[in-house]
């Protein structure tokens, strides 16, 4: 896999064979991020709730039987008021299914095991889903292209292939940019597109040198993000942004390059917010 930021890898719960207790603080990692790998069933409950005590063991039994393909996350509504408010909980037990960061199904109240089984079965990956997951995990160009033949708009496959093309050679930048138009724009697609444009427009450099330069820039940003307390800036972003700032108002190309560098830096880089403010002041 080419260098760059990716969704954080989370250990499969199949190895633990248990539900997880989720809090306001861990919901983003344990539920939202995990839901891009497997469906997550969120069980909102409380210790004083009788029906919750009936439903809880059923959910645990049925979800554990999926060997990690459907994960159960339990939320104590009394201890986690922010999540209760986010789900607009009016009665419990309340159960929601989350896939790819979005609520896709749910129910309220306690139901018998056969009904819960049907609910969980509907969340299980299809044979095609499993094939695509295997191809994406392989990560090579041929496998990623095969995954997109099955599902042309698969976000993980699109981003993985686009990033692979960007780091393969300058002649593939246009294809990478075209691929990204298949899916909604987000921080990851903006970063990949920015790397492609920067590599394509690096002035008078050989093709391999263009990609290498951008890889150096990207790697430097990632290294700084991973160990900011140890390393100072190891890239040339600030010098480039300072030089471009004078021209961003009148020169569209300069403005685009400025924005592309910010995208490569990413929102986690503390310099990004500062340079965005400088851009706003210069434009307006």
Edge to edge, what strands does the sheet with 70-76 contain?
Answer: 20-21, 70-76, 39-45, 94-99, 102-108
The question of whether 49 is a catalytic residue gets the answer yes
Q: Answer whether 194's CB lies under 8 Å from 272's CB.
A: no
Give the CATH number for residue 103.
3.40.30.10
Active-site residue among 13, 22, 44, 52?
52
Domain end (from 121, 156, 178) = 121
Q: What is the pLDDT of residue 192?
A: 92
Contacts 24+ apart (CB under 8 A), 243-247: 245/278, 245/279, 245/282
Of 17, 162, 26, the closest CA to residue 83 belongs to 26
Domain end (from 81, 104, 121) = 121
Comparing 66 with 18, the larger pLDDT belongs to: 66
**Are 145 and 258 part of one and the same domain?**
yes
* Banded model confidence at residue 9, pLDDT cuts 50, 70, 90: very low
**Are 156 and 89 part of one and the same domain?**
no
**Are 138 and 256 part of one and the same domain?**
yes
Rounded average pLDDT over 239-259? 90
**Are 69 and 136 part of one and the same domain?**
no
**Are 276 and 212 part of one and the same domain?**
yes
Q: Residue 195: is its pLDDT beyond 60?
A: yes
**Are 42 and 168 part of one and the same domain?**
no
Report the percentage of the chain scoring pLDDT > 70: 82
Q: Answer whether 46's CB lies under 8 Å from 52's CB.
A: yes
The question of whether 63 is a catalytic residue gets the answer no
Residue 3 covered by a domain: no
Q: Answer whether 133's CB lies under 8 Å from 116's CB.
A: no
Report the SS3 class of residue 195: helix
Q: Answer whether 100's CB lies under 8 Å from 37's CB.
A: no
Q: Residue 149: is its pLDDT beyond 60?
A: yes
Residue 224 covered by a domain: yes
**Are 191 and 116 part of one and the same domain?**
no
Q: What is the pLDDT of residue 202?
A: 61
Q: What is the pLDDT of residue 13?
A: 47
Rounded average pLDDT over 63-80? 94
The number of folded domains in the chain is 2
Rounded average pLDDT over 159-171? 87
Active-site residue among 19, 41, 44, 49?
49
pTM above 0.75, yes or no: no
Q: Tell me how far apart the alpha carbons of residues 209 and 205 are, in angstroms, rounded to a whole number.
A: 6
Q: Determine the distance from the C-alpha atom of residue 205 to the mean position of all C-alpha atoms in its chain, rounded to a whole number.
A: 32
């Amino acid at each position: 896999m080419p260098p760059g930021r990716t969704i954080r890898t989370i250990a499969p719960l199949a190895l633990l064979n248990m539900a997880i207790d989720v809090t306001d603080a861990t919901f983003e990692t344990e539920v939202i991020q995990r839901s891009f790998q497997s469906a997550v069933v969120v069980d909102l409950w409380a210790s004083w709730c009788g029906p919750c005590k009936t439903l809880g063991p059923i959910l645990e039994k049925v979800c554990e039987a999926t060997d990690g393909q459907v994960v159960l996350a339990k939320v104590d509504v009394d201890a986690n008021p922010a999540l209760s408010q986010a789900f607009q909980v009016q009665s419990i037990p309340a159960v929601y299914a989350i896939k790819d960061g979005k609520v896709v199904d749910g129910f309220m109240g306690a139901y018998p095991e056969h009904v819960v089984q049907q609910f969980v079965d509907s969340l299980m990956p299809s044979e095609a889903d499993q094939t695509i997951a295997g191809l994406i995990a392989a990560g090579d160009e041929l496998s990623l292209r095969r995954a997109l033949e099955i599902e042309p708009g698969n976000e993980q496959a699109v981003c993985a292939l686009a990033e692979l093309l960007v780091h393969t050679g300058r002649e593939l930048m246009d294809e990478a940019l075209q691929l990204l138009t298949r899916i909604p724009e987000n921080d990851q697609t903006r970063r990949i597109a920015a790397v492609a444009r920067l590599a394509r427009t690096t002035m008078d450099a050989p093709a391999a040198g263009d990609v290498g330069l951008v890889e150096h820039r990207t790697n430097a940003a990632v290294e700084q993000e991973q160990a900011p307390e140890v390393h100072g800036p190891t890239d040339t972003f600030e010098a480039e942004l300072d030089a471009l700032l004078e021209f961003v108002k009148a020169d569209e190309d300069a403005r685009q390059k400025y924005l592309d560098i910010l995208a490569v830096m990413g929102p986690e880089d503390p310099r990004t917010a500062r340079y965005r403010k400088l851009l706003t002041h210069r434009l307006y």
